Amino acid sequence: MANTEDNLFKNVISHAKEYGFIFPSSEIYDGLSAVYDYGQNGAELKNNIKEYWWKFMTLLHDNIVGIDAAIFMHPTTWKASGHVDAFNDPMIDNKDSKKRYRADQLIEGVIEKLEEKIEKEVEKAAKRFENFDRAMFVGTNARVAEYQKKIDEINTRLKDAMANNDMAAMKQLVDDLEIADPISGTKNWTDVRQFNLMFSTEMGSVADDANKIYLRPETAQGIFVNFLNVQKTGRMKIPFGIAQIGKAFRNEIVARQFIFRMREFEQMEMQFFVKPGEEMKWYEFWKAKRLKWHQALGLGNDNYRYHDHLNLAHYANAACDIQFNFPMGFRELEGIHSRTDFDLKSHEKYSGKKLQYFDSEDNQNYIPYVVETSVGLDRMFLSVLASSYKEEKLEDGSERVVLKIPAALAPNKVAILPLMKKDGLPEKAHEIMNVLKFDFRCFYEEKDAIGKRYRRQDAIGTPYCITVDHQTLQDNTVTIRDRDTMKQERVAIDEVKAIISESVSMAALLKKV
Ligand code: GAP
């Protein structure tokens, strides 16, 4: 991360704490690694993101319904899903620094460096030649070819080691690439071991292996095991989807970068059940739809890009990420996967129960194929928070920090501020609030100078401030201040609701998708 981006990220993190968005978990005990709590403003923003997703899925698509499955599931679920045997990350320790790493990430770091070297060659050449043709240059330059050959070799070895579960080969690759620990600087590594990311606990009073259950590492399996319950009771016809928002838990080896990678997090997942053979059509459909959903927030279309997976998981026949330009660069925000019939087929095998659909049009039974959309709620939160955070220099030389959160997602929609704490102004302000609070989340504040109060509302992203002054008592007008332009306008109290409604409305945001 470049220095300025690093500083920006640090500022976002401390702002999130200072203004009640995110606190380290159990902070009075010095926190718990990679676990966070959402504060009073964070919880509101998070709920609004959930609402945006839930309504998009279940209101705008009459063939998608939502469920809320339990976190605990029968342990065989995780055998069938492949998580018991294959939900592992290869870990390695440096014996000197005692730090733990993911071996595949250390190796990928070498690949990234080689890719950066290629980019530098390209940049240098682009400056030298007019009418520069990147593809031609990359295809013919000897140094680039050498770097690319190395990348391909490393990729092949890494892929083979992962596919064959060959941890010795992975360690050999770390040694051959002469990877040093960034902390100790030494190459004094342990062997690479597989580490299962699922948290387990015991159910009931007897702690033995028979009672071992897992905290779900993804919400998707709660949907698969309920596929027939929902299809039958909801009389759903293929193609149809089941949506769910809920907690997931992963014992990540390296969990850092704030709420980007946590051990307890939330997912918003939708499994779309389709006729076998039609999955690629639906995969493309959901790829486009999900990108549009993100872009409708107005955080900048350039901040999103697709990243197609070349190495597919065992259950997928196509997969991509929607990446977002986070403060530390482009990273995965959402995954879109064509999961074939892997999950339902496997649950059929392990449970001995038929999980098939009778297609009355074709007069046949089949196990549907599945296209999944899976977005991390906390990553969505980070994308909104980080891209809304602005440090602005104003014309009068002062500075402000403002969260330009999309208005429909903002924790509070309007702040109601009596200019003074006397002369009946607080009473009038409460009167206005008592009308508006049924439609909008309002915030009331009477302490401190009005300028200071405006700054505090800017810092938590409140789109509108309404100021009640002495003129209000005479003619029933107030000033309304816009967070982004800071412009103030005098309007009749009766007009306030109409002015605010459109721009903070979730329905208006959904219409943009
Ligand atoms: N059901 C498919 C699935 O779980 P995934 O790519 O492992 O796929 C989906 O996760 C999304 O969940 C990711 O795109 C990311 O947004 C979020 N996610 C995954 N692990 C996370 C973690 N440790 N902390 C926060 N979000 C995470």
Residue with CA at minimum distance from ligand 1 atom 17: 376
Ligand 1 atom at minimal distance to the Cα of residue 218: 4
Cα 267 to ligand 1 centroid, rounded to whole Å = 7
| Rounded average pLDDT per 10-residue block, the chain, 513 residues | 77 98 97 96 98 98 98 97 94 96 94 93 90 88 94 94 93 97 96 96 78 95 98 97 98 89 97 97 98 98 94 88 96 97 98 96 96 98 98 94 98 98 97 97 97 97 98 98 97 96 95 96
Task: Please confirm whether the linkage preceding 24 is cis (ω < 30° from 0).
Answer: no
Ligand 1 atom at minimal distance to the Cα of residue 374: 9
Ligand 1 atom at minimal distance to the Cα of residue 217: 4
pLDDT at site 290: 98
CB of 252 sitting under 6 A from ligand 1: yes
Cα 376 to ligand 1 centroid, rounded to whole Å = 5
pLDDT at site 106: 96
d(CA 24, CA 34): 8
Residue with CA at minimum distance from ligand 1 atom 25: 261
Task: Decide if 49 contacts 409 (C-beta within 8 A).
Answer: yes
* Angle made by CA atoms 284, 289, 295, in degrees to the nearest 5: 130
Q: What is the DSSP string of 317-358?
A: SEEEEEEEEETTEEEEEEEEEEEETHHHHHHHHHH-----EE
CB of 287 sitting under 6 A from ligand 1: no
CB of 218 sitting under 6 A from ligand 1: yes
Task: Decide if 47 contacts 380 (C-beta within 8 A).
Answer: no
pLDDT at site 2: 57
Cα 451 to ligand 1 centroid, rounded to whole Å = 41
d(CA 160, CA 397): 59
Residue with CA at minimum distance from ligand 1 atom 16: 376
CB of 261 sitting under 6 A from ligand 1: yes
H-type helices in 93-193, by residue range?
A: 103-128, 134-140, 142-163, 167-176
Q: Which residue type, as a one-letter code, is found at position 463?
A: P
Q: Is the dihedral of CA 55, 59, 60, 66 positive or negative?
A: positive
Cα 321 to ligand 1 centroid, rounded to whole Å = 10
- The whole-model pTM stands at 0.92
Give the pairing type, strands 318-326 and 488-492. Answer: unpaired
Of 267, 307, 372, the residue with max ligand 1 atoms within 8 A of its CB, to mutate for a pocket test, comes to 267
CB of 375 sitting under 6 A from ligand 1: yes
d(CA 338, CA 286): 10
Cα separation values, 419 from 2, 188, 432, 490, Å = 44, 65, 14, 14
Residue with CA at minimum distance from ligand 1 atom 18: 376
Residue 281's nearest CA partner among 318, 244, 233 is 318
Q: What is the DSSP string of 482-509?
A: ETTT--EEEEEHHHHHHHHHHHH-HHHH
d(CA 452, CA 444): 14
Cα 262 to ligand 1 centroid, rounded to whole Å = 10
Task: Decide if 499 contacts 484 (C-beta within 8 A).
Answer: no
Give the pairing type, strands 414-418 and 442-444. Answer: parallel
H-type helices in 296-441, by residue range?
A: 342-351, 377-388, 425-436
CB of 343 sitting under 6 A from ligand 1: no
Residue with CA at minimum distance from ligand 1 atom 19: 376
Task: Decide if 176 contacts 153 (C-beta within 8 A).
Answer: no
pLDDT at site 204: 84
